[in-house]
């Protein structure tokens, strides 16, 4: 194994493998470090994505476990809002297989994959960056022109860069179980500030009699306690089998940060490229990976790894998804501010035929602001209810109208 590379990527999740693949495909020497002994494990993801995500990943339907055509939302008071149709809105995927497939892509493009290699530290050395790692209890190091941190929510690379932010983290837990009685093509969501404070709980059918359930909290409540509460409140989702494959972790919702420094880029969860509305980070991380790889290739060609040059990566990402992430942060703050009584009122208003039709037409888990705008535009009463809890509704809606006039909305 070589000791000097053009790029070292830390973390073989989708974002890290995508960056390694795209840089290596241009003929550069790339090393992909993965802390665990197997790619994709342990699982920390609910695995619900859109078709555009798989297209961006360059992965076929072999990773798809089930097609989702609707949702059932449970309110705090027992109300059910059922939304569904013939359209496929999302895909429940085998997340481990997705990670494995993308790591293979990176290797086929020429990147080297080193498993069981835990990143320890970085230090700058004569215009390069020395990457220190541990493997099999032994320390080793590699020289690189560029380091890409794709090492997740608790990114050591981000901490070394001095930009890691522990605030705004959702504590989440996910598990799988057999539940043949659950609808095969509808996600179930539970919104209740006493059950999952500041967040929500969910059940995703996997199409083979199994379901992936999870929950999250933002106020210090332990996710396992939230899951126990879910179990007691909705026993019908749990009566057919015990939960298996527990995995817990932090979900770093998007917040302004600086995902670059001298010789260093951050992507994916390490860069907080995570949707504030759902906690999903595969799509946004892949978008970030594309911009990171483009900037990295140009930097390698120019031999310019300065902070000033690498900043163009963040500018390109924010030009692509920045507005959506900012509006998503608005929506999350709004949701977290509602108590159970207000959540009950909101779901009651969304249950009318007209608004349900809008949800079916404009619902998109990657771009939720589009649906929000259409709902507010169509229902003045809903706009009044929402705007009393947003301090900047006028600017928010003017932004959306501007996008529509420019032909960028849907």
CA-CA distance, 398 to 50, in Å (whole number)? 28
Given a cut of 70, the residues of the chain with pLDDT beneath it are 1-2, 180-181, 240-241, 381-410
pLDDT of residue 3: 82
3-state secondary structure (DSSP) of residue 410 = coil
| Residue 252 CA: distances (Å) to CA of 230, 278, 401 | 23, 11, 29
Q: Six-digit token pair at 255?
A: 């917040």
- The yes or no reply on domain 4-45+96-166+254-321 and CATH 3.40.50.720 is no
CB atoms within 10 A of CB 61: 10
| Nearest Cα residue to 272 out of 152, 156, 179, 410 | 152
CA-CA distance, 371 to 360, in Å (whole number)? 9
pLDDT of residue 401: 53
List, by residue range, all CATH 3.50.50.60 domains of the chain.
4-45+96-166+254-321
DSSP H or E run through 123: strand 117-125
Report the Cα–Cα distance between both ends of the chain, in Å, rounded: 49
Domain 67-93+167-252 CATH class label:
alpha beta
What is this structure's pTM?
0.92
Furthest-apart CA pair in the chain: how many Å?
Answer: 65
Q: Are 257 and 267 in contact (CB under 8 A)?
A: no
CA-CA distance, 306 to 69, in Å (whole number)? 47
List, by residue range, all CATH 3.30.9.10 domains of the chain.
67-93+167-252
């Amino acid at each position: 194994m070589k000791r000097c590379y053009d790029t070292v990527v830390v973390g073989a999740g989708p974002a890290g493998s995508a960056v390694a693949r795209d840089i290596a495909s241009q003929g550069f020497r790339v090393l992909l470090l993965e802390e665990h002994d197997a790619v994709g494990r342990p699982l920390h993801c609910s695995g619900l994505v859109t078709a555009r995500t798989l297209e961006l990943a360059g992965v076929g339907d072999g990773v798809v476990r089930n097609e989702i055509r609707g949702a059932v939302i449970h309110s705090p008071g027992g109300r059910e809002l059922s939304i569904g149709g013939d359209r496929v809105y999302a895909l429940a995927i085998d997340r481990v297989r997705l990670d494995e497939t993308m790591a293979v892509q990176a290797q086929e493009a020429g990147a080297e994959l080193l498993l069981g290699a835990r990143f320890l530290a970085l230090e700058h050395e004569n215009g390069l960056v020395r990457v220190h790692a541990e493997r099999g209890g032994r320390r080793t190091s590699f020289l690189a022109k560029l380091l890409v941190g794709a090492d997740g929510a608790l990114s050591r690379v981000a901490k070394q860069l001095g930009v890691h932010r522990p605030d705004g983290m959702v504590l989440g837990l996910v598990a799988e179980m057999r539940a043949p009685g659950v609808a095969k093509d509808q996600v179930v969501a539970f919104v209740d500030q006493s059950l999952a404070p500041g967040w929500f709980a969910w059940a995703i059918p996997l199409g083979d009699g199994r379901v992936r359930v999870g929950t999250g909290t933002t106020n210090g409540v332990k996710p396992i306690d939230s899951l126990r509460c879910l179990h007691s409140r909705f026993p019908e989702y749990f009566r057919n089998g015990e939960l298996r494959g527990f995995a817990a972790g932090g979900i770093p919702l998007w917040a302004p940060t600086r995902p670059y420094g001298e010789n260093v880029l951050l992507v994916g969860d390490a860069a907080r490229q995570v949707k504030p509305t759902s906690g999903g980070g595969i799509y946004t991380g892949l978008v970030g990976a594309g911009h990171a790889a483009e900037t990295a290739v140009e930097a390698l060609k120019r031999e310019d790894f300065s902070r000033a040059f690498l900043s163009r990566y963040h500018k390109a990402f924010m030009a692509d998804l920045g507005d959506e992430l900012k509006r998503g942060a608005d929506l999350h703050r709004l949701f977290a501010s509602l108590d159970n009584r207000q959540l009950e009122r909101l779901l009651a208003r969304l249950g009318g035929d007209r608004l349900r039709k809008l949800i079916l037409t404009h619902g998109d888990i990657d771009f939720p602001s589009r649906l929000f705008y259409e709902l507010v535009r169509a229902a003045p009463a809903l706009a009044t209810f929402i705007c009393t809890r947003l301090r900047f509704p006028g600017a928010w809606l003017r932004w959306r109208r501007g996008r529509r006039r420019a032909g960028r909305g849907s």
